[in-house]
Amino acid sequence: MEMPEIVRFAPSPTGEIHIGNARTALYNWFLALQTGGRFILRFDDTDVERSREAYAEAIAADLDWLGIVPARVERQSARLARYDAIAEDLRTRGLLYACYETPDELERKRARQRARGLPPVYDRAALALTEAERAAFEAEGRRPHWRFKLPEGARSWDDRCRGPQIVNLGTVSDPVLVRADGSYLYTLPSVVDDLDFGVTTVVRGEDHITNTGVQIALFEALGGEAPAFGHHNLLTRQDGEPLSKRDNPLSVTRLRAEGYEPMAVASLAVLVGTSHPVEPVADMANLAGKAPLSAVSKGPAMFDPADLKRLNAALLHDMPYEAAADWLDARFGLADRMFWETVRGNLALRGDAAEWFDIWQNAPRLTDASGAPILAREDAAVIAAADALLPPDPWGEETFKAWTGAIRAETGAKGKALFMPLRKALTGREQGPEMAAFILLLGRERIIHRLASAKVALGVG
């Protein structure tokens, strides 16, 4: 057994999470699941202006829907005193230094560096300020922001998705850890929390690779050991653009409301952009087994929303009655194995079962949406023969074949001319489940009534 992994998923509650964030959450969840470890849900909510409790609640509900059960939920907004103490310690040690440049001044510096062909790295001018210069800025009303003094050299790690990685800290600006208003940017709280909560592996998107080099240096400065890291590729849209929090059609909350299966969303979120084919996996333990971090590709993970529909339908088509029974009971007040097994092959979303439940329970209208009759004059002979030749009970798997064989012998109709009138008369639709199964679901009594209605509609009753 591997060491139990302590992982965390750390969204900012500033919007709904999308399927790409679900990918991050699930990869973390699998590590916890497979090693008997723990999954921490950590809300990175130090940005009080943009963070919303409603988003935190929606994210928790989304994870629950995906089958992820956090062992612990934490909020950074509740830990500010801890961050203050750490920041104070870094200040005392000269590792967190006050800077007074305005955004405009910083932009001008960067423009000058670029013009000279230099990388736009912060020049540490603030480190050279005298007490008097600092006092003068303060007297002007300027409040300092605080930068972490990065050490020399490079930091490297063996990435669990990407193999050996290296970040040269000389090419990175000393990161601002504390804003002028005293609020924290993401870096310091994240590192402090990862240490305090004993996180063993950080799995997140590859957009954080440079941050990781910086964070390793901060872990060291705090006297801690950096966790392991795995940076997975990011889901992109078909045009190669990354998903953003504003990709509402792909928000997990939205997909949930639209009635997608959680395992369809999870299968796509996890398998796209890996060495595995994108296929539906019905259970979480299986999906976890298919998605080791080492299977993640190096290139982007192109996401096709049409795949979600395909996976969803495929999951439903194979979904055993036992997996659907509770939902059927809650939705229709009736869980019926034969109903489920007859209609599941025709569902794109499970909610589509409502249409077939209605067609099963209630005689269908024999007119189309515009009110035109769906049965035609030439269907009359088949319908009349069907009524006359309806087999006696008991019915079984061979009944439909025997019945239609008898109708064919009587009328000479075959193929579509034989089957379509029956389908239309019994279901009010031109497409749907296998009729051999559907007639067993309907039973003899309902069929007698429906054929009688069809005869009346055709004027042969």
- Contacting residues toward ligand GLU, per CB under 6 A: 10-12, 44, 186, 190, 204, 208
Q: Find all residues with CB under 8 Å of 461, minimum gap 6, and list them.
A: 452, 455
Q: Are 366 and 457 in contact (CB under 8 A)?
A: yes
Nearer to ligand GLU, 245 or 254 (CB): 245
**Is-contact 146 99, C-beta < 8 A?**
yes
Q: For residue 86, give every residue at least 6 positions away whose Cβ sits within 8 Å of its Cβ, in sequence order, or none.
A: 188, 192, 222
Per DSSP bridges, beta strands 201-205 and 176-178 are unpaired
Closer to ligand GLU by Cβ: residue 177 or 442: 177
Closest distance of CB 164 from ligand GLU, Å: 20
Closer CB to ligand GLU, 13 or 432, in the complex: 13
Whose Cβ is closer to ligand GLU: residue 56's or residue 99's? 56
Residue whose CB is less far from ligand GLU, 10 or 442: 10
Whether residue 160 contacts residue 178, with contact meaning beta carbons closer than 8 Å, is answered with: no
Phi, psi of 376 (to 5 degrees): -110, 160
- Measured from the CB atom, the residue of 44 and 247 that comes closer to ligand GLU is 44
Which residues are registered as beta bridge partners of 39? 7
Cβ atoms 191, 181 nearer than 8 A: no
E strand residue ranges, 352-408: none
CB of 11 to ligand GLU, least distance (A): 5
Shortest Cβ 273–ligand GLU spacing (Å):
18
Beta carbons of 404 and 418 less than 8 angstroms apart: yes
- Distance of closest approach, residue 251 Cβ to ligand GLU, in angstroms: 15
Least separation in angstroms between residue 132's CB and ligand GLU is: 39
Sequence-separated (6 or more) residues with CB below 8 Å from residue 136: none
Exposure class string for 297-329: b at 16+ Cβ within 10 A, else e: eeebbebeeebbebbbbbbbeebeeebbeeebe
Short-list 25, 36, 38, 28, CA closest to 65 = 25
- Between 15 and 144, name the residue whose CB sits nearer to ligand GLU: 15
CA of residue 386 relative to chain centroid, distance: 49
Least distance (Å) between residue 250 CB and ligand GLU: 16
Question: In whole angstroms, how close is the CB of 208 to ligand GLU at the nearest point?
Answer: 6
> Measured between alpha carbons, how far is 232 from 405 in angstroms, rounded to an integer?
59
Min dist CB 87 to ligand GLU, Å, is: 18
CA distance 156 to 412: 79
Q: How far is the CB of 297 from ligand GLU (least distance, A)?
A: 20
Structure tokens at 116: 């000279």
Distance, CA of 325 to CA of 331 (rounded, Å): 10
Hey, what's the torsion of the CAs at 378, 380, 386, 389, to 10 degrees? -110
Is it true that the peptide bond before 392 is cis, omega within 30 degrees of 0?
A: no
Q: How many CB atoms lie within 10 A of CB 293?
A: 19
Q: How far is the CB of 243 from ligand GLU (least distance, A)?
A: 13
Decide whether 55 or 403 has the Cβ nearer to ligand GLU. 55
Q: Based on CB atoms, which residue is closest to ligand GLU, 14 or 113?
A: 14
Judged by beta carbon, residue 204 or residue 256, the one nearer ligand GLU is: 204
Query: What is the rounded CA–CA span in Å between residue 419 and residue 423?
Result: 6
| Residue with Cβ nearer ligand GLU (12 or 346) | 12
Q: How far apart are CA 354 and CA 108, in angstroms?
A: 63
- In 187-227, DSSP assigns E strands to 201-205
Instruction: Report the Cα 327 to chain-centroid distance in Å.
Output: 21
Query: At closest approach, how far in Å is the CB of 291 from ligand GLU?
Result: 18
Nearer to ligand GLU (CB atom), residue 91 or residue 245: 245
Q: How far is the CB of 230 from ligand GLU (least distance, A)?
A: 11
